[in-house]
Amino acid sequence: MDHPALVRWRKAVESRDVAMLSPILAENVVLFSPTKHEPYSGQHAVSTYLSGAFKAFINPSFKYINILSGAKNASLEFNVEIDGLLVDGIEVIAWADTGKITEIKLFLRPLNVINKIHQTMNIKHKSQIHTDK
């Protein structure tokens, strides 16, 4: 049986509902992006990143194809099509005893898709920063 944190994560991703993520992210959550060396730290920064990520590459073609789940972490393999290219990815998620997600690592391939997502995320992130002011 999947941990409740994993069930809530999948529901948020599969329904493309970013608002469902804030209640399940720990205040000190850390996200490791495939496009940035330094991690995003804290609930606000991670939520902002995930909001952009949802818009950039969570679309109707997104589907989980393999899930490995443990007591405090899970690896979720997914496929999505972006601009006619098949993208393979893995989300590695860890949570605390409280059920709140404490760490997210994202892995993507192929490289040309990572570069495209990096460009798209930078544009969306800059737009988000200007919207928040």
Structural domains in the chain plus CATH codes: 4-132 (3.10.450.50)
Structure confidence at residue 1 as a pLDDT band (50, 70, 90): low
pLDDT tens profile 34-45: 878 899 999 999
129 pLDDT above the threshold of 50? no
| Average pLDDT taken over every residue of the chain | 86
Inter-residue long-range contacts of 48-52, CB under 8 Å, 24+ positions, other chains counted: 48/125, 48/128, 49/121, 49/125, 50/18, 50/21, 51/18, 51/128, 52/121, 52/124, 52/125, 52/128
pLDDT: which is higher, 131 or 46: 46
51 pLDDT above the threshold of 80? yes
How high is the pLDDT of residue 88?
93
How high is the pLDDT of residue 118?
65
Burial zone of 57 (CB within 10 Å; 0-12 exposed, 13-18 middle, 19+ buried): buried
